[in-house]
Structure 1
């Protein structure tokens, strides 16, 4: 059945098929019954005719008129619809064609009662072992046999026994209860014509009944079932198109009326739910459009369906450009965006520089309950100021406010890291420590402001004298420490000397400033801790001061019996 066929035609077709099957079955039963009735009636009529013929022949034979019986049989053959009529002996040969019976009768009576024929024939009609013939003779009953005819019509053959009576014993004796068999064959052409007419009437009646039933059924189904269903279907179509206010008229209290009522309740609930969702959507839209964070959302095909004003502002692009370029090109780096979205741990914050801003990006793929992709979303936060404050806080926590050099805390953390690296890689690590000679006099004589300016000037010269990956720190008061990775003791000593000379050559507000420096290096100095390296440089610094200040001193490996702090090589001014 065609899936696109309307329900009206489907129901009509289904009912029509069912009614057709029933009516055809009834017609077949009726015609079969009529056929059997006609055949049975014809059979009874022909059976009575055969019995009448048998009785008539018996009467003729008892009167001794065998010739009349023979002519009577010949006349019966000419009757309409009688194809064949024969009188048979019990062995299947036709009687009255030879002199056998005449000789037997004359011999039994002892006189020539009947005159023999001049011409005799032996005509076998049925085989002596024919089952129908044997049944007729042995059971002494009339038998009807249906057979196909030569003209295409069936034939009906009756085999009726000529029964023995007491009056027959005078001529034929008492040996057999059946003296002969009458074979009467008739054509069923007329009967079959009657049956054909009955079939024609049945088919015509069936066609009329089927047509009337289909028309009536179609009309009744259309009024009582199809039209109400079509109204419900029409209402469903309107509701699916968004018309949730449409109602189905309820015209009955049957199943269709119940369905229409249920549909109306469902649409009412849908309308209530839709209105609630609409209000929530309006709230959410207001929140999204008023949010300070940029929000971009796509559908399952990847097409952008939502961009709020904050996203336009942060990306410095109009909505049309954002939608056109697509979700992956939000930050002008499609490969990076695809990488973020393919991350199974996606959803975490990603910080990236974009144009003149620092953005915190939350990007993820949205999956439905069936684990299929329903869209993607990205949230953008401008953390430029936060990042600046964070960097400033970090700078403040690791640098000295007066000199701008790294402070003691950062020195300790960096020295631990560099010492562990030097141990792991087998490279050199040098530390130089110095302080300003007679710094207390600057404060006492010229004041603390002048002392601060001296500290700032020395710190600048210290910072400028080092490489970009060296670390210049204020250790405390007027003491400074430099960390020099990948630098030997001699290399560090050269740096110390160059710094000492530059500071001595410079003046701060017309004042001369000198420094005393101690230098230590690993692994030339076999210290076991980062603090040991600082202590060795401090001891070398102490030697510089004892040696008259304004000089650099190397911390040398101790003699076997001498502590490490006392080993020093002093270079005088």
Structure 2
């Protein structure tokens, strides 16, 4: 039991730790998402800020170049413009610097503009170049070039260089001013385009440093937030929850007296208060159930009837001591063998359960006992199987007493033969059957000759022994399905189903001879008999058959006793002459 409790406590503590970590993790994830989002937007904002600052710097540079170029041209020093452009190419971080015409060709490489200006001015203001070449830099239909010329606004273009770093190209327009009309005329808004390409490697390094700083700050902020959040959650949420959880574990272990301290009035405090109320109500209910269980256990274990109960899978869950005693099996053996094998006849038990024997007891013999069995399948409110139950009662003694009562009510106490009551019932049954089927039914009636002398001379005890000896001979002379009865006093009647008058006469004669040949305490005993049979003798009732046999017995007595007489039709009052083999013999007396 202690090991189980320790295991439950270990599982409970692991569950507590998981709750703590889960809450901390959930808060940490939420905080991390917020901080990462803030860091992302911050770094993105810083990156855009750096790029915009770089664009402004490049824009100012191109404007300065354009103004310087215009100043050179207005001063009439166009011949040094080419040298001016070449020097700008050598500026640090400048990958390419070109002064383009509006058609995308590089300016100051041929004599096209010089010849046009000299022609307009009517004089050779500028000396032509000795060598000239056409250097196309951008196609004339380049969309960026066209946009710059059309809008007369600086256009930044970001691209990825061969070394993996981004590069920034500025297309800055060289706007037409009135001072240029002297040499170039009017009508053009843009005279040319400055193409300036720089590497953003240094800018990217700055952005990378900003990102690193943001990640470091994010990690520190996240760690600090997690630690502070974990501490605060542990103090304000997790620890109260753990107290409630520990209390639940103790209650589940049986400690219903344990209470959770209420330290706050918030939801956790109300939860602790509700838990304490629930525990108190549970304890009250548990105590009541425990008392009822003790009562039920006392009843079940003290019951003289065997009780066996199963669950809905027919697995035995209850065996009381009486069941072990009646079945002569241990509870473990009964559980192992199963419910349908409790009486070692599973097919019969399944039949009883299928027929729902709850409303009718089944009587069966088992190991020398007579058991009354109530077996049934118990159904729930929705007709689902809840379980099965069997009630076993030992009615061996009851059956014995019942049989003894039945025997006493139907037999004669002195001779052990059936009594007059059983004789009347059986004779009526056999008479009705014989009337219905047409079979023969015979009756043998006799009494002991001079029986009064036995009682008067030797006493009633001797007379009782004579009656018992005659009864034994009478019982042994009949078949097993014949009925030997004491009619009253020293008179006896035998019922012989399926027997004719002649057959009954033979039985009577054999009985007479057997008794005549025997002795009772050295005394000779004889009997006189009368036989009657139906339907050979026309009688309309069982009593008529008895009367006919009694009349035949009376004739035997009148004929000298120790003889057998056949019954005659009632209309014929003449006594029949005895047959030669039944000649009267003088009675033997002591």
Tell me the TM-score normalised to structure 2 length: 0.78
1:106 Cα offset (Å): 1.5
Q: Considering only aligned residues, what root-mean-square deviation do their CA atoms show, in Å?
A: 4.4
2:484 is the counterpart of 1:472: yes
Residues 67-107 of structure 1, C-alpha deviation per residue, up to 9 Å, x if partnerless? 22222211111111221111111111111111111111122
1:154 Cα offset (Å): 0.9
Aligned with residue 211 of structure 1, among 198, 209, 223: 223
Give the 3 Å change call, closer, same or farther, for CA 544–480 of structure 1 in structure 2. closer
Q: Which residue pairs with 1:553 in the alignment?
A: 566
Q: Partners of 2:101 and 2:218 in 1: how far apart?
A: 51
1:59 Cα offset (Å): 2.7
Q: Which residue pairs with 2:344 in the alignment?
A: 336
Residues 379-402 of structure 1, C-alpha deviation per residue, up to 9 Å, x if partnerless? 544x45433332222123222455
1:192 Cα offset (Å): 0.9
Give the 3 Å change call, closer, same or farther, for CA 232–565 of structure 1 in structure 2. farther
Aligned with residue 518 of structure 1, among 510, 518, 531: 531
Q: Partners of 1:307 and 1:60 in 2: how far apart?
A: 124
Q: Which residue pairs with 1:180 in the alignment?
A: 192
Q: Which runs of 5+ in 2 are unaligned?
A: 1-13, 583-590
Higher mean C-alpha displacement, 254-263 vs 281-290: 281-290
Alignment of 1:256-405 (within 5 A): 256-287=268-299, 293=304, 295=306, 302=316, 306-307=320-321, 322-323=330-331, 325-326=333-334, 334-336=342-344, 338=346, 342=350, 343-344=352-353, 345-347=356-358, 349=361, 351=363, 360=372, 378-381=391-394, 383-401=395-413, 403-405=415-417
1:565 Cα offset (Å): 13
Contact 1:433 1:517 in 2 (8 A): yes
Contact 2:417 2:484 in 1 (8 A): yes
Give the 3 Å change call, closer, same or farther, for CA 545–155 of structure 1 in structure 2. same
Give the 3 Å change call, closer, same or farther, for CA 11–489 of structure 1 in structure 2. farther
1:482 Cα offset (Å): 2.9
1:436 Cα offset (Å): 3.1
Q: Partners of 1:174 and 1:140 in 2: how far apart?
A: 16
Give the 3 Å change call, closer, same or farther, for CA 512–305 of structure 1 in structure 2. closer
Higher mean C-alpha displacement, 409-418 vs 219-228: 409-418
Q: How many residues align?
A: 551
Q: Partners of 2:81 and 2:577 in 1: how far apart?
A: 174
Alignment of 1:62-101 (within 5 A): 62-101=74-113
Q: Partners of 1:131 and 1:108 in 2: how far apart?
A: 31
Aligned with residue 40 of structure 1, among 28, 31, 52: 52
Give the 3 Å change call, closer, same or farther, for CA 536–372 of structure 1 in structure 2. closer
1:335 Cα offset (Å): 4.5
2:147 is the counterpart of 1:135: yes
2:442 is the counterpart of 1:431: yes
Q: Partners of 1:210 and 1:20 in 2: how far apart?
A: 6
Give the 3 Å change call, closer, same or farther, for CA 468–323 of structure 1 in structure 2. same
1:421 Cα offset (Å): 7.7
Give the 3 Å change call, closer, same or farther, for CA 103–260 of structure 1 in structure 2. same
Q: Partners of 1:139 and 1:207 in 2: how far apart?
A: 47
Q: Which residue pairs with 2:8 in the alignment?
A: none
2:191 is the counterpart of 1:191: no
Q: Partners of 2:244 and 2:388 in 1: how far apart?
A: 35
Q: Which residue pairs with 1:102 in the alignment?
A: 114
Contact 2:529 2:552 in 1 (8 A): no
Q: Which runs of 5+ in 1 are unaligned?
A: none
Aligned with residue 254 of structure 1, among 255, 262, 266: 266
Higher mean C-alpha displacement, 347-356 vs 253-262: 347-356
Higher mean C-alpha displacement, 334-343 vs 45-54: 334-343
Give the 3 Å change call, closer, same or farther, for CA 66–275 of structure 1 in structure 2. same
Q: Partners of 1:504 and 1:538 in 2: how far apart?
A: 25
Contact 1:136 1:159 in 2 (8 A): yes
2:344 aligned counterpart, secondary structure: helix
